[in-house]
Amino acid sequence: MNNPFENGQIHDALVPIVIEQSNRGERSFDIYSRLLRERIVFVTGQVEDHMASLITAQLLFLESENPKKDIYMYINSPGGVVTAGMAIHDTMQYIRPRIGTVCIGQAASMGSFLLSAGEPGMRVALTNSRIMIHQPSGGAQGMAADIEIQAREILRMRHDLNQLYAKYTGKPLEEIERAMDRDKFMSATEAKEFGLIDEVFDKRPTPAEEPTAAAA
């Protein structure tokens, strides 16, 4: 008998379906596709190549739909692969719409990096979110020369990440390097004080209270 927990069958079965009525009849969407129509993108779980491909495709699609309308990215991620996170990050910077980032649950490692990379003034976390930053890590094996090459690459990635965190937080590079040396966990309020986000929300703001992009 087939195991329903394999191949994501249970996960897929639990995704709600939304039915909409129109003059053309009924249309059904899974809940994520319906929210994508509202320009909401989810970054959930491990950041890896397949997820990065899906996220970048959604961002490019939303830009083609309306290059002037904001996109909101909800993040609940423990982090993952640096190169996959960079693919999402670079697409966020490349496209024309502003991207507001929202932390729900946790944003750790590459999750916190993507959170900080949102449009200045539009980076928020919900009250009980947890945010964590740290330096990249990697396993090296093989001949000594290969291990040395991989170690240099990890150090280069660490330098690049530190510079970007400094840019997004407004902190001096030296302070970022000290903070990133080990796992640094923060509450939503502490993340705001550190400069990773701009606001902490416990209720959805009214239109007049919604965060707006910081002035250039």
Q: Please pick, among 77, 89, 116, 134, the residue that the annotation labels catalytic.
A: 134
- 77, 109, 112, 116: which one is catalytic? 109
CA-closest candidate to residue 191, choices 179, 204, 182, 205: 179
Q: Reply yes or no on whether 112 is catalytic.
A: no
DSSP category for residue 80: B
Is 11 tagged catalytic?
A: no
Distance between CA atoms of 189 and 196, rounded to whole angstroms?
10
Name residues whose C-beta falls within 8 Å of residue 84's C-beta, 6 or more positions apart in sequence.
47, 48, 49, 51, 52, 110
Strands (E), the chain: 17-22, 25-30, 40-44, 71-77, 99-108, 123-126, 130-133, 184-187, 199-201
Q: Point out the residues that are catalytic.
A: 109, 134
